[in-house]
Structure 1
Amino acid sequence: MERWTAMKAHYLSPLFQPRCVVVIGASETEESVGARVFRNLLDAHFKGQLFGVNLRHPKVFGETVYPTIAAVPVPEIDLAIIATPARTLPGLLRECGERKVKSVLVLSRDFVAVDTRNRALLDEAVAIARRYGVRMLGPNLLGMMRPASGLIAANYQGKVKPGNLALVAQSSSVASAILDWAEAHEVGFSAVVSLGATADVNFGEILDFLAQDGSTRGILLYLEDVGEARGFMSALRAVARQKPVVCLKVGREPVSSTRAARTHSDRLIGRDDAFDAALRRTGVLRVPTMVHMSIAARMLAANFRTKGRRLAVISNGYGAGRMAVDRAQEMAVELPRLTPATVARLDAALPPIGSHDNPVDILGDAPPERFVAATEACLADPNVDGVLVILTPQAGTDHLATAQRMIELRRKTDKLLMLVWLGDKKIALSRKLLDRAHMAYFFSPEHAVEAFASLAAWAYIQELSLQTPGPLASRSEPDVGRAREVIAKALEAGRSLLTTAEALAVLDAFHIPHPPTLLARTADEAVAAAGRIGLPVALKIDADNLIHKSDIDGVLLNLNTLEQVAEAAEAMLAHARQRLPKDSVHGIVVQKMHGKRHGRELMLGVARDAVFGPTIAFGSGGLSVDVFEDVAVTLPPLNDMIAGNLIRRTKVARVLGAFRNHPAADMEAVRDVLLRVSEMVCELPEMVELDLNPVVADEHGAIAVDASILVAPLPKGFRRYSHMAVHPYPAHLLARGQLKDGSACVFRPIRPEDADELQRFVREELSDESRFNRFMSTLKQLPPSMLVRFTQLDYAREMAVVAMREEDGVERMAGVARYTANPDAASAEFAISIGDRWQGKGLGAQLMTTLFNAALDAGLDTIEGDILASNAPMLGLMKKLGFAIRPHPDDASLKWVVKPLRSAS
C-alpha cells in the first residue's frame, strides 16, 4: 500500500525555507538593490547561512563576501538572490546551475516588458534555469519574505512582523503599501511574495506551497490580471479549501454599449463578471478595498465564523444602532425579527422604554448586567446567526466590566459575537482587554457589519466551492452525438451561426423544451405550417448571420388567422430580401405562440470569456434585456445549488414568485433549463455563444421561445473539457469489471459524497498492517481535513478512482487509487489501497488500469510512486502492471516505481 499521507517537503521549500542563501550583487552602494537586500537579511538575523557575492570587494557591511558563487564555501546552496543588472542574468543562471543552486530570486529592476532585448535575455535565462533544474522567481518584483526565519529577501524599507497571514501581490507598489499599512496596525505575515514577471515559478505554484505551509492560516491576494485560467482556478480552489483566501483585484471592465458583441449574452457578461464567478467557484472572498481586505483577513485568520447572514444588533444608543442597521441594509445583511420568546425575555430584563426587537436598544445608562441579558437572549434566538454589541461611553456605563463580561460570554457560545466600543480615550483600557482576549471588536459599527457580511459571504462561497456537479446533471441523458452532427455540418458549410432549425435541433438533443416550430420557404408554406401547428403563431425570419431578427422587423407575434399569416409572411420575406445579402434568406420560421398567460420572460445565455472560457448568464429577458441589464453570471458546470444561487442573484427572481394574480413560476423547470444549458457547455466545446431569449416560465413549466447559437472549430490539440475553467465530474471514465470470484464491480471517479464511505473503508476494510503500509500509522479515522482533501478533488490536477461493489443493496468501497499531477504537468504520483478481503481477486489491476486511462485522458505521460520495500504483494502487482522498480533516491525503506503511459497505451 503506497503511503498517501507521508508529507514530502514541497518542491519550492528551497525557495521559501532555505538553509543557505547567497546574495549575488551584495553591495554597500547607497540605494542599490544589492545593498538593501543584504542589509535587510543581516538586520533580520536570517536563521540560516548567509553569504554575499561581490566581484570587486572582499567585505560588505563588515561581512566577508566572495568573488563568484563557485567560491562560496558550502556544499549546498538553496537560494541565490540576484540583484545585478538584467544583462548579467543568463551568465549568472549558468553559474548557479553549475553550482547546483536549487532556486533563484531575481530582483533585477531593469527588465522592461516591451524591450525585445530584455525579452530575449529573460527567455535565455529561463531556458538555462530549466536546463539545470533551477527554479526562478521574478524578475521585476519587490521580493520575497518569511519574517519568522529572518528571510527578508526584498527591496523594501520597513519592518515586517511575523504573523499567520500570507500576502501574494502582482504589484510591488501595492505590496509595499500593504506592508506599510500592516506595520502601522501591527499585522504580521507568514510570507510575502510579489509575483513580478513570473517567468518561471508562477502564481499557482506559490499558492500550492502556501496551502501546505503550517505557519500560514490565511492568504491575502492582490491581482491585476489572470494568466492561464485552469491553473489559476486549480491553485485557488486547492488552497481555499484549506485556508481562508481574500482577494482584492483591480482593473474592473465595465459593461459598455460600445463593446463589440454579437449575442445578448456576449454583451451583458463583462470580464469582471467572469472573474467574480471564478472566485465564487473557488471559495475565495473578493473585497472592494484594502480596508475591507484587512478586516476580512483578520477575522478569517482569527478563525471567526458565521453560518448565516442573520445579524442581531444591540446598542446602548439609538444613533449607534442605526449606523449598523443602515450599513447592514446596504450590505444585504439580514436583520431578522426576534422570536416571541426572545422578545418576552428582553421585556423581562430591560426597561420598558426602548426597542426590544432587532435592533435592541438597551438605553444609554445600561450597566454590564443589561448588556449581558440582552446578548444572551439574542445569542439563544434560533433566528440569529451572529450578534453585534455596540457600546458608547455614557454616564453610568462601565465599559471595562462590560468588556470582561463579553469575554466570558464569548466562551459559552458557538455563535459569532462581535463588539464595537465607540470612542477613544475613555474606553482605551477596555479595548486593550478585548485585544488581549482576541475578541472580534471594531472601532465603528460600519466596519463590524462589513466584517460580518464578509464572513457570511465566505461561508456561502465555501459551500458553493465544494459543489462538484457532473457534466450530465439532469434527469435524462442528451443525444450529444446528434447535436455534434448539426454543429459539424454548419462548420463544414463555413457558417458560425446556426440556422433556427439547427439551433432548435440542438435544443431538442438536450431536451430543452420549445414551442412547435416549422420552417417555411414561401408565404404559402407558412400558411400550411400555421395550419398544421395551430393558431395563434409567431413568424420569424430565418437568414444566415442574423442574430437579432427584430432589428430588421423580422418578428411578428400573435397572428390569429391564416389570412394574417399569408400577408405577414409575404411582407416579411420581401422586406428581408431588400435588407439582407442575396441568397442569405432561407425563409420563415413558423412557431406556435407559447400561450403562457402568466409567463415571465427570462434570458439564459452563454458567452466565452478570454480567460475563464464559457460563462453562463441568467436574467430578465425579452426585448428589454439590454436595457435593464439584470443578469447574474456563473461558471459551468452547474448543479441545483449553483443554479439556484444564480437565479437568486437577479432582480427577476422576485418576479418568479407569486404576486398579485400570478401564481409562482415552476422553479424546478427553470433550474432544469439551466442544467441543460450547463450540459451543452460541457459537451459542446464548439459552442462559443448561446442566447435563449426569451425563455418563458409560468406555473406549468419553462420553454425557450427563441435560440441563437454561435459555433467555432476546435483548436488543434484540444482535450476534453480543456475549454472550461472548472473541470466537470468525469463521468465518461466510469468502467465496469468483474473480479476473479465472478462478482461485479464498478470503477468510477470519487465524488464528495463518498466521504462517509471512504471513512468506513479505512475503519473497517483495512487491517492495522494495511493502514500502516498506507499511512505509516495505524490510525482508524481520517481527520476531517484529510477526508476533504481525498474526496473533494479538482479533477484538472488530480484523480481518485474508487472500486464500488453492491452489498445488501448498498454501495460499498473495496479499493481506491489516486494520482496527483506533478509540476511538470506530464507526470503524476499515484497511490493505491485495496481492502484486505478483496486482495488477490484481481481488483488492484483493474483499479490501476482505470487510473491509467484517467491519466492518459488528462494528457499525462508517466505515472510514478513510492512503495514500502517490505510490501511484497504491492511490488508484485506493480511488476505485473509493467512498472520499473528502482531503489528510492531518498529512503532505503522504499522502492520507486515508474511506468510510461504512452508506450503502454
Structure 2
Amino acid sequence: MSIRNLSHLFDPKAVAVIGASERPLSAGAVVIRNLLTGGFKGPIMPVHPDLRAVSGVLAYPRIDALPLVPDLAVLCTPGAAVPELLDQLGRLGTRAAVVIATDVERPALLAAARPHGLRVLGTGSLGILVPRIGLAASFSRQPALPGKVALVSQSGALCGALLDWARPHGIGFSHFISLGAGDDIDFADVLDYLANDDQTRAILLYIEQIRRRGDLVGAARAAARNKPLLLVRVPEHPDLRRPGAFLAETLATPEECFDATVRRSGALRVGDIDEMFGAVETLARGRVMAGKRLAVVSNGGGVAMMTLAEMGAPGDPRLAGLAEETRAKLAARLPAGSRIGNPLDLGLDADPRRYGDAVRVLIESAAADAILVIHAPNAMADPVEIAEAVIEAQRGHPGTVLTAWMGEESVAPARQRFAAAGVATYPTPSAAVRSFRQMVQYRRNQTMLTETPPSQWEGFAEARIAARPIIERGLAAPGGLLGDDQTRALLAAYGIPIQPATQAATPDEAAQAATRLGFPVTLTLDRPDIARRGEAGAIALGLETAAAVRTAALELRRRVSCVHPDAEQAGFTLQRSLLRPDARLLFAGIACDGLFGPVVVFGEGGRVVEVPRDHTVGLPPLNLPLARSIISRTRIARLLKASDGRPAADRTAVAELLVRLSRMLVDNPEIVACDINPLYADHHGVVALDARMRVAPWRNDESRRFSILPYPAELEEDATLRDGSPIRLRPIRPEDEPAHAELIARMTPQDLRMRFFGLVREVQHFQLARMTQIDYDREMAFVATRDLEGGGFETLGVVRTVIDPDNQRAELGILVRSDLKGTGLGRTLLDKIIRYQRHRGTRQIFAQIMAENIPMLRLSRAAGFRPCPSGEPDVLELALDLNPAPAAP
C-alpha cells in the first residue's frame, strides 16, 4: 500500500511515449494521437530510435536524450525491453510509468522500478485518462468526458466498451484507469489516492482477480467513508460447494467471503456488466437515498407492473404509501376518474403537463425517497416534451428522480435531455429499480459504518484466561481437533450456552451415565474428526433406558468402524434430550478464507444445513448491530418471528451468541474452524447441542490475519495524573460515542475553536461515529477514561493520529477537557501516542495548530516538536521526527 509518487501518474506536467510510432493502429501511434488530441497542456515527447518526428512532434532517439525529465512515461514497447527501459527512466528521475505489454515478468519489473521509486501502472494496462487536465495516456478508441466518477478496471477490453457507452450517454469521469495486472500499483493504492481527490465524487471498481489482499480492505473502508464506492467482481471460478472437514468451511465460499468484505467496507457490489453500466448512471446522476420508498409514475399500468417483479425480496425497495393529502392533490390535477395510487397510472394520453404535475406533487409531499417516472412512447405525446416537463418539475428540489423512457430511436433525444440535466435515465423500468435497489443497499452498508453498538468488551478477561489451556491442549492434539469436552468448555467460557454433557469411555459406562443424567438421552460417538456425525450414523436420539443406551453405543461403534476402523475404541458423549418444541434449528461457525481471513458463518441448521444454502458470512470482529445485520440476510430470519401460535425466537440472544463467537475468535486466533450445529433458538433464548472445533498455530498470512483489525486490547495501560488520581489509557472503541459526545459538550467554545479551527455549534452523530469507529491499521486514537462512582466511566481527553498510507507521516490532534488543564493529562496522552507511532515505525508526527494556541505550542515544544513553515500566517506546523527517513532513491 502506497500513494508514493502517484501524483506523477495522475497529474503529470510532462509525458514521454517510449516506442512512439507512425505505424497505423499500433499502440505507440494511438497513444501519441490520443495525447495530442486530448488537450494536455504539458510537453509530449515521443521516443523512437529512428524517427525524427512522430505525428508532427519532434522525437528523441533515446531516453537519455530527452530535454527534460518526464513525470510520466508510457511504454509501448515489447515486454522484453520493459525492465531495462524502466531502469533508464528511473535513473533519469521519472516517477511514474504505464506499461502496455503483457509479457513482462513481475519480479524483473519491480526490481527495475522500485529502487528509483518509479511507480508502474500495468502490465497489460490500456492506460489512464484524466479528462480534467486533458490527459489521454492510453490507446483507447474513445476519449472520456470530464466528470466526477472514477473508474478503475483490470480489464482493458471492458474499459474500451465502457468508454464507448459513456460518451453518447453524457457520462463523464474524473479518472479512467486501466489497472492491468496490478504488478505494482494495485486497487488499494489507487483507492487511497482517489479517496482524497476532491475532483472524484464516486469510485467504481471492476475486479477480475485479486491475487493478494494487501491493504485492499482498509483502503476500501477509508474510501467508502468519503464517497460512494461500487465494485463489480467476476467470479474467479464457479461457486461450487464441496464437502469439507467442517460445515463452516464448506459454506464460506470465496464469493460469499468477498461479499461480506464489501458489505463491511461500506461499499456496494453489483452483479454484472449491465448492472455496472446502471451503476455508472446512478453514480453520475443519482443521490444517496435516505430510505427505500419508491413512487412509480407511468402512462400505462402494464409498464408500471414491470417494476413490481424487481421488488419482491425482504429488505428490497418498497412502494411508498401516499397520504390522503397527497392523494387529494393528485386527484385535483389529474383527469376525473383517475385511479390514485402507487404505481400512479397517468393514462395512455398523458401529456407533459400531467407528468409534470404528478412529479411535482410527489416530490413536494416527501412521500417517497425516489420517484421512478416511466414513459412508453405513443403517437399522442412527444417524449422530449414530457422529459422536459419532468426535468422542470424536479428542478430545485432535493428529491431523487429516476426515469425510464422505453424504446430506442424515438426516445433517444429525450434521454439526451435527461443526461444534460443530470437526471438518471434507464432503458427499462426493471433496470431503474435494480439501480434503486443498489442505492438502498449502499445506504444500508454505509449505515453499518456509523451505528453505535452497545458495549461488548466487559467480562471476557476470565474467558481469555480459561481458554488458553484448552487451546494449548488442542494444538498438541492430532490434527488440532478439540475433544467434545474441550469444545464445550471453551464455548461455555465465552458465555455461549451449550447443553451439558458427560463423557463415557465404554458402552457400560455410557449406560450408567445415562441413568445419572435421566432419560431420555442423546448419545454421540466422541469422534470430533467426523464432520457430519449424523450422516455417519454416530448419533442416537431419544434413548429411554440404560439397556437402550448400551445397545446404541455398541451399534454406533460398529456402524462407524465400517469407515473408521479405530472407532471400535471411541468413547461417548451423553446429553439429556432437550425438549423445546418451539425451537428453530440454526447453525453458527467459523472458517478461514484464503484471501480475507477468519469469517463467521450463520444460517439454518440441522442435518440439511448444506441443502437450502440459507446462510450468510460476516467478518469479525462483530458487535450487536453487525450481528443483527448478519441474521437479517438469511431466509430463516423470517421464521424467527412469531407465527401460527409459536412465539418469536429471541433474536437478541442469537445476535449475542454471534458476538461471543466472534470475541472467542479474536481472543484465540489459533481457532481455524468451528461448527455449532444444531443451535436451538426460541423465546427462552439459545442453546447449542453439538459443536466441533479445530485449532492450529497462528501464522502471519492472509488466511489467518483479520481483514479488519480487532480492538488492540494490548495497548491498554494505567496512568496517573499529577495529583495521583488514576486514569485508564486505551484505544477508542465504537461504543465510546456517548462519552465522546459528553467530552465535547464539556469543552469551552474557545477550546473547541482551537481544536477544530472554527466555531463548533453541534457535533452530529455521523461525525461522532467517524471519531469513534476507526480503522486501527490506518489511524489511532487513545482516550483517557476515569471510572464513575455510580458505575460506568467518563472520557477526559483524546489524542489522535491519522497515518498516511506509506507510514511516513502521522497527523496529530489532541483534546483535553477544559476543566482538566494543568493536570498533566495532555502530556500523558501525547507521550502515549508518540510511543505508539515510534513503535509502529512512523517517520514523523506533525500537527497544525492556530498560532494563538499557546498551551498546545508549549505542550508540543516540551515533547520535542519543532516549528515548520505552514504557508498560512495564522497557522503553525509542528513536527517531531521519530525514526530516520528512508534513503532517497
Q: TM (normalized to structure 2)?
A: 0.89
* Structure 2 CA distance for partners of 1:625 and 1:853, relative to 1, 3 Å: farther
Q: Which residue of 91, 97, 101 maps to 2:94?
A: 101
Shift of 1:765: 3.9
| Partner of residue 375, structure 2 | 391
Q: What's the secondary structure of 1:304's corresponding residue?
A: coil
Alpha-carbon separation, structure 1, partners of 2:838 and 2:561: 52
| Partner of residue 813, structure 2 | 832
Shift of 1:437: 3.2
Q: What's the secondary structure of 1:820's corresponding residue?
A: strand
Shift of 1:390: 2.6
Shift of 1:148: 1.9
| Partner of residue 819, structure 1 | 801
| Partner of residue 669, structure 1 | 653
Pairs within 5 Å for 1:61-76? 61-74=55-68
- Amino acid of the structure 2 residue aligned with 1:108: A
1:629 aligns with 2:613: yes
| Partner of residue 524, structure 1 | 508
Aligned residues of 1:759 and 1:781 also touching (Cα < 8 A): no
Q: Deviations over 1:561-594 (max 9, x none)?
A: 2332232223324444554243784411001112
1:282 aligns with 2:276: no
Shift of 1:503: 0.9
| Partner of residue 680, structure 2 | 696
Deviates more, 1:150-159 or 1:685-694: 150-159
| Partner of residue 285, structure 2 | 302
| Partner of residue 4, structure 1 | none
Aligned residues of 2:9 and 2:97 also touching (Cα < 8 A): yes
1:800 aligns with 2:781: yes
Q: What's the secondary structure of 1:551's corresponding residue?
A: coil
Q: Which residue of 728, 749, 752 maps to 2:710?
A: 728
Aligned residues of 2:162 and 2:277 also touching (Cα < 8 A): no
- Amino acid of the structure 1 residue aligned with 2:722: K
1:610 aligns with 2:604: no
Shift of 1:612: 0.8
Q: What's the secondary structure of 1:196's corresponding residue?
A: coil
Alpha-carbon separation, structure 1, partners of 2:814 and 2:263: 34
Alpha-carbon separation, structure 1, partners of 2:157 and 2:857: 54
Alpha-carbon separation, structure 2, partners of 1:154 and 1:183: 16
Q: Deviations over 1:818-870 (max 9, x none)?
A: 23344445x5514132446545432233213432565478x546453356797
* Structure 2 CA distance for partners of 1:474 and 1:662, relative to 1, 3 Å: farther
Alpha-carbon separation, structure 2, partners of 1:383 and 1:566: 68
Q: Which residue of 806, 825, 835 maps to 1:843?
A: 825
Alpha-carbon separation, structure 2, partners of 1:769 and 1:384: 42
Q: What's the secondary structure of 1:829's corresponding residue?
A: strand
Q: Deviations over 1:513-572 (max 9, x none)?
A: 111200011222212322332222100000252222223311011112233223222332
Pairs within 5 Å for 1:238-387? 238-251=222-235, 253-257=237-241, 259=242, 261-329=244-312, 332-338=316-322, 355-366=339-350, 371=355, 374-375=358-359, 378=362, 384-387=368-371
| Partner of residue 865, structure 1 | 846
- Amino acid of the structure 2 residue aligned with 1:80: A
Deviates more, 1:214-223 or 1:421-430: 421-430
| Partner of residue 120, structure 2 | 136
Shift of 1:443: 3.7
Q: Unaligned regions of 5+ residues in structure 2, if any?
A: none
- Amino acid of the structure 2 residue aligned with 1:72: L
Alpha-carbon separation, structure 2, partners of 1:706 and 1:346: 60
Q: Deviations over 1:358-395 (max 9, x none)?
A: 32334334455654665566557787433323334557
1:561 aligns with 2:508: no
Q: What's the secondary structure of 1:550's corresponding residue?
A: coil
* Structure 2 CA distance for partners of 1:230 and 1:799, relative to 1, 3 Å: farther
Q: Deviations over 1:483-522 (max 9, x none)?
A: 2321211212333221111111111111111112000112
- Amino acid of the structure 2 residue aligned with 1:301: A
Q: Which residue of 537, 547, 564 maps to 1:580?
A: 564
| Partner of residue 737, structure 1 | 719
Q: Which residue of 495, 499, 514 maps to 1:511?
A: 495
Q: Which residue of 137, 159, 169 maps to 1:175?
A: 159
- Amino acid of the structure 2 residue aligned with 1:360: L
| Partner of residue 41, structure 1 | 35
Aligned residues of 1:470 and 1:731 also touching (Cα < 8 A): no
Alpha-carbon separation, structure 1, partners of 2:238 and 2:502: 40
* Structure 2 CA distance for partners of 1:800 and 1:532, relative to 1, 3 Å: same
| Partner of residue 428, structure 2 | 444
Q: What's the secondary structure of 2:480's corresponding residue?
A: coil
- Amino acid of the structure 2 residue aligned with 1:32: S
Aligned residues of 2:281 and 2:424 also touching (Cα < 8 A): no
Alpha-carbon separation, structure 2, partners of 1:585 and 1:415: 71
Q: Which residue of 394, 412, 422 maps to 1:410?
A: 394
| Partner of residue 114, structure 1 | none
Shift of 1:40: 1.7
| Partner of residue 13, structure 1 | 7
- Amino acid of the structure 1 residue aligned with 2:87: R
Aligned residues of 2:249 and 2:591 also touching (Cα < 8 A): yes
Alpha-carbon separation, structure 2, partners of 1:317 and 1:412: 28
> Percentage identity across aligned positions?
34
Shift of 1:729: 3.4
Q: Which residue of 18, 37, 44 maps to 1:24?
A: 18
Aligned residues of 1:516 and 1:533 also touching (Cα < 8 A): no
Q: What's the secondary structure of 1:498's corresponding residue?
A: coil
Q: Which residue of 74, 80, 84 maps to 2:77?
A: 84
Aligned residues of 2:5 and 2:119 also touching (Cα < 8 A): no
Alpha-carbon separation, structure 1, partners of 2:404 and 2:701: 55
Alpha-carbon separation, structure 2, partners of 1:192 and 1:697: 50
Aligned residues of 2:100 and 2:124 also touching (Cα < 8 A): yes
Aligned residues: 877
- Amino acid of the structure 2 residue aligned with 1:676: R
Alignment RMSD (CA, Å): 3.7
- Amino acid of the structure 1 residue aligned with 2:784: A
Alpha-carbon separation, structure 1, partners of 2:363 and 2:518: 62
* Structure 2 CA distance for partners of 1:237 and 1:365, relative to 1, 3 Å: same
Q: Unaligned regions of 5+ residues in structure 1, if any?
A: 1-7, 112-118
- Amino acid of the structure 2 residue aligned with 1:447: A
Pairs within 5 Å for 1:437-476? 437-466=421-450, 472=456
Shift of 1:794: 1.7
* Structure 2 CA distance for partners of 1:764 and 1:208, relative to 1, 3 Å: same
Q: What's the secondary structure of 1:552's corresponding residue?
A: coil
- Amino acid of the structure 2 residue aligned with 1:634: G
Alpha-carbon separation, structure 1, partners of 2:114 and 2:337: 75
Alpha-carbon separation, structure 1, partners of 2:706 and 2:55: 53
Aligned residues of 2:4 and 2:806 also touching (Cα < 8 A): no
Q: Which residue of 624, 636, 651 maps to 1:652?
A: 636
Deviates more, 1:603-612 or 1:646-655: 646-655
1:51 aligns with 2:34: no
Alpha-carbon separation, structure 1, partners of 2:595 and 2:345: 50
Shift of 1:186: 3.0
Shift of 1:700: 0.9
Shift of 1:225: 1.8
Alpha-carbon separation, structure 2, partners of 1:17 and 1:762: 40
Aligned residues of 1:468 and 1:751 also touching (Cα < 8 A): no
Pairs within 5 Å for 1:144-163? 144-163=128-147
Q: What's the secondary structure of 1:627's corresponding residue?
A: coil
Aligned residues of 1:616 and 1:633 also touching (Cα < 8 A): yes
